[in-house]
Structure 1
Amino acid sequence: MSNWKNLNELSSYQKLANEEKRVDLKSVMAGESGADRMKKYSIPMAQGLTYNYAAKAVDDEVLADLCELAKEAELAEKFKELYNGAVINTGENRLVLHHLTRGQLGNDVVADDVNKRTFYKEQQDKIASFADKVHAGEIVNEKGEKFTTVVQIGIGGSDLGPRAMYLALENWAKVNNTFKMDAKFISNVDPDDAASVLASVDLEHSMFILVSKSGTTLETLTNESFVKDALKGAGLNPAKHMIAVTSETSPLADSDDYLDAFFMDDYIGGRYSSTSAVGGAVLSLAFGPEVFEKFLQGAAEGDKCSASENPMENAAMLDALIGVYERNILDYPATAVLPYSQALSRFPAHLQQADMESNGKSVNRFGEEINYKTGPVIFGEPGTNGQHSFYQLLHQGTDIVPLQFVGFKNSQMSKDVVIQDSTSQAKLCANVAAQIVAFACGKDDENKNKNFEGGRPSSIIIGDKLTPEALGALLSHFENKIMFQGFLWNVNSFDQEGVQLGKVLAKKVLAHETDGALKVLSDMFDI
């Protein structure tokens, strides 16, 4: 079994912390030195993606130290233990099995007397069969007509990941003639969310997916009631329009209120559930099971790359190591995720949850307080929109914020126009290339208002085109990066106690069991 130690107890970390030399990014990225770095500091990823970290403030010496850190922290061994079924989620005494939803990395994993890979594959096959019947008109509405829209009802990981993946593949599916059904999402308990979505769909031809592992999530059940009232108001039977994604022990599992139920379990956290039935149902209905299978294949290939013991051949592990170096040695407070792809418009929002809910911890995996910084603030927007928003602070603000760019050589829809001797796609790619160099090298100017200090680190993941396979590989990269960083910080990346307290107090407000400031706030809202 691996040794779990706090980051500051590792001698390789102390070595990094005590080194006085720091890489002058502005200098090493200038001229031919920069050209050499761009060619050298690059790692191939799954599905033809490439991770390039030339514009990070590292050199061969720092990289060697980071490799020592990876070895001492036993990152590869801990990942191996995870995918072979060790109880990595110590807070809830659970296995962590989201990798098994897309493939078998190691030994068979048996939990609750069930082969879990077999279980996840059975659910995937069951969803595929259901989706095929819906598309073929074998499962229809009360008038015998096909469903044309699917609406997912869920919150947190039941919404953010699946919504981001749907938007990422929507245009690709339309171009490649695999688009089957429109998908919408209801997440916020704010009634305006559900009302707006319901007003935008044809209820008679809409299928609703209720996603709740426990079957007790307040926001989700509230929105389910909202939807059921709307269906009844339109003279429709909700049981003929709804399916459930839940656990086998949930009250939703064997209910006559749903056309069918598909199962997940406690070994897959919500923010890691896009490759489970949580994402599988909506993506298979929207695009067809074959597209979802391609997405899983990309994620499985990404996982295999992440299992490499050598950080210099393992993009997710190296990305994690550099991120910890930036957070704990260089003291950078945040990371911006900047996809230069409109299809990835909600991908940063998904990563906000995946990263900040996983590694936003101040105690280690044993419940002991730690005295070093853990997860950074994650934020982002697609380029080039972000350039006209918060890039001002990124370029000239008082904090240095590391940047993670994502870009593709070709667009999904292959429709473009030439204006001023270049296409829109060429302009998009030109902008991301320019930003990487601009952030790293800056610009000297006697007018301090126009002076750019440079030295702002970034990396880029670049690919040919955003396909289902590439999306799966991209998702795997970031999920595994988060995991490796949690290992380094010695935190439990797979529980989320921080979301519970607010829920408990909200229930007290609704039950009118309040006093002090909470009562005053409740009265202000006339609750």
Structure 2
Amino acid sequence: MSLEYKNFDTLSSYRDLAAAGKQPRSLETMLDAKRVERYEVKTDLGTEYLAYNYAAKKVDENVLELLQSLADEAQLAEKYRTLTQGEVMNTGENRKVLHHLSRGEVSGPVTEDGKDLGAFYRNQQQRIATFTQKVHDGTITTPEGTRFDTVVQIGIGGSDLGPRALYLALEGYATPKMKARFISNVDPDDAAVVLQNINPQSSLFILVSKSGTTQETLTNEALVLGVLEKAGIQQPRKQMICVTSETSPLAKNSEYLDSFFIDDYIGGRFSSTSAVGGAVLSLAYGPEVFRDLLDGAHSADLAALDPSLQNNPAMLDALIGVFERNFMNLPSTAILPYSQALSRFPAHLQQADMESNGKQVNRFGKPVSYVTGPVIFGEPGTNGQHSFYQLLHQGTDIIPLQFIGFLKNQTGMDTTFEGSTSQQKLNANLVAQIAAFALGKDDDNANKHFPGERPSSLLYADKLTPRVLGALLAHFENKIMFQGFLWNLNSFDQEGVQLGKVLTKAVLGAGEIHPALQALAEKLGAR
């Protein structure tokens, strides 16, 4: 089957869905016990699962049929399969998109010029596992013979947000073999706070930059090297490993302790399951834990191949999101994990989603005439309930909600107070919020009136394990890609971040710049 890449509003399904979007639907009348049971799709993770429940979304059987027709017409399953087979999908940079391959073959081997690209990723994972084991057993130490007890990742954007979110997500599940810390911001206070709270004599640093030229990362490297030298460390780079491309200036540099490699086919925001996340997570928790995370992501990737929405939660989630964005005119989405372990997961999804689909031209560089990626934000419950939920409940904008919850907590620590456990209270809050957003509450006092009709979905599992975490990560990655295919975007480049980088160099340089920039630079001491 030949693939066609058409603008979203030229598809015949678009007109049908536009009409369906104007039809009134009330969650108060739609939501019932049978719907809660029926409107759910599960991803099988072996002995575990990840469920997507969309009972509180404003879709009915007619809308679901139209969304299936849209998925078929837009060839979503075929485009996804083609991507996993190694076809060029990053049209802006003329590259393959292969982050799926870092966790396993989805649609068979992917080769280039006779090279098995999957074998390349597996080899890097094995090298990291071997290196990690030697660090943990004390075979690899500092030049002075001190065992490493802390690992510090230096990177920014996708080299920080995803790995940091995943590290924090597993803190309650696995006892860390090494503490992990992260330095990302070029703000020197970021590095200073981290460095003040570690022992530089026993710390291993991971320098992450695919190009080997990232300004913030190299600046932070220089800052760290200066601190290590002041601490009397004679060979500071022998306490550093690099995660970079094989062609970067950092690659195979004998000054560093070791180097592990990524390639141009894995974008930063999709790199958590490559060496970018693999090195720090393996060092922190062990290669076995990272392997379980990869297996969970792989299971979700395989589920995303199914052309039927009722068997493909990521595609279904994506299509419902497009229905809300384009036909219900809802501009934002809130990610609300009822798990403190996922405290940085919404921040990671902000980058993954908004950097991918925050585009106004299609994959061929032509303007689109419809809205694309939503604004993504979020915080863990129940803290968020005492913060921005006021606007979510009674604000003038309706914001779709994606709740995430778990039947059990990670640590097993709990207490019973006033007849219920902490975990029961947490999940009672989650359920109550779904009901309050959907059903609202009438009150003669307008200030206490809740209009309801706020749609939400729920992703849940028994417990947040590495396998479930991997599936959760892949669910959102695949959702983002399906939406990009629907909007006919190139979800895999990020030209929107480049202009600021260029102007930063101009401000720091000695050449002539725009007078307004000159004045601002002088006010802030940047020049």
The runs of at least 4 consecutive aligned structure 1 residues that moved more than 3 Å come to none
Q: 2:467 aligns with which of 448, 469, 473?
A: 469
Distance 1:131 1:232 in 2: 25
- Distance across 2 between alignment mates of 1:108 and 1:409: 37
Q: What's the counterpart of residue 23 of structure 2?
A: 21
Which of 361, 367, 372 aligns to 1:374? It is: 372
Find the aligned partners of 2:153 and 2:373 in 1 and give their Cα distance. 30
- After superposition, residues 473-512 of structure 1 pair within 5 angstroms as 473-512=471-510
Q: Does 1:250 align with 2:245?
A: no
For 2:254 and 2:517, locate their aligned partners in 1 and report how far apart those are by CA, in whole Å: 39
Q: Which residue of 2 aligns with 1:385?
A: 383
Give the whole-Å Cα distance in 2 for the aligned partners of 1:107 and 1:85.
Answer: 10
Distance in 1, matches of 2:217 and 2:414, equals 40
Tell me if the contact between 1:167 and 1:346 (Cα under 8 Å) persists in the aligned partners: yes
Which SS does the other structure have where 2:95 is aligned? coil
Following the alignment from structure 1 to structure 2, what is the Cα–Cα distance between the partners of residues 182 and 363?
Answer: 43
Query: Is 1:90 aligned to 2:91, yes or no?
Result: yes
Contact residue 46 and residue 298 of structure 1 kept, 8 A: no
Aligned residue number for residue 205 of structure 1: 202
1:246-395 maps to which residues of 2 (within 5 A)?
Answer: 246-395=244-393
Q: How many angstroms does 1:434 deviate by?
A: 0.6
Letter in 1 for 2:88: V
Q: Give the percent of matched residue pairs that are identical in Structure 1 and Structure 2.
A: 62
Query: What residue number does 1:185 align with?
Result: 182
| Residue in structure 2 matched with residue 62 of structure 1 by the alignment | 63
Quote the offset at 1:145 in angstroms: 2.3
Conserved 8 A contact 1:46-1:473: no
Q: Would you say 1:81 and 2:77 are equivalent positions?
A: no
Distance 1:299 1:321 in 2: 20
User: Which amino acid is the alignment partner of residue 294 of structure 1?
Assistant: D
* SS across alignment from 2:217: helix
Unaligned residue ranges in structure 2 (runs of 5+): none
2:341 alignment partner, SS class: helix
What pairs up with 1:421-440 in 2 under 5 angstroms? 421-440=419-438
Distance in 2 separating the partners of 1:143 and 1:240? 10
- The Cα offsets for residues 414-466 of structure 1, whole Å up to 9 and x where unpaired, read as 00111111111000000001110110000011111000000000000111000
How far did residue 108 of structure 1 move?
1.7
- 1:4: Cα distance to partner? 0.4
What secondary structure is seen at the aligned counterpart in 1 of 2:33?
helix
Alpha-carbon separation, structure 2, partners of 1:436 and 1:281:
38
C-alpha distance in structure 2 between counterparts of 1:111 and 1:438, whole Å: 53
**In the alignment, structure 1 residue 240 sits paired with structure 2 residue 238:** yes
Match for 2:332: what amino acid? Answer: A
For residue 403 of structure 2, give the secondary structure of its aligned residue in structure 1.
strand
Q: 1:239, 1:256 within 8 Å by CA — same for their partners in 2?
A: no
The unaligned stretches of length 5 or more in structure 1 are none
1:28 and 1:511 mapped to 2: Cα distance?
Answer: 61
**Paired letter, 2:475:** H
What secondary structure sits across from 1:258 in the alignment?
Answer: coil
Instruction: Specify which of 200, 219, 231 is matched with residue 228 of structure 2.
Output: 231
Q: Distance in 2 between matches of 1:89 and 1:113?
A: 21
Equivalent residue of 1:51, what SS? strand
Q: Does 1:2 align with 2:18?
A: no
Task: Give the match's secondary structure for 1:172.
Answer: coil
Q: Supply the distance in 1 between the matched residues of 2:498 and 2:112 (Cα, whole angstroms).
A: 26
Distance across 2 between alignment mates of 1:337 and 1:25: 20
Q: Distance in 2 between matches of 1:388 and 1:219?
A: 35
- The CA RMSD over aligned residues, in Å, is 0.8
CA distance in 2, matches of 1:212, 1:473: 26
Aligned mates of 1:116, 1:311 — CA distance in 2? 30
CA contact (8 A) 1:247 1:253 kept: yes
SS at match of 1:253: coil
Do structure 1's residue 164 and structure 2's residue 165 form an aligned pair?
yes
Task: Give 1:524's aligned amino acid.
Answer: K
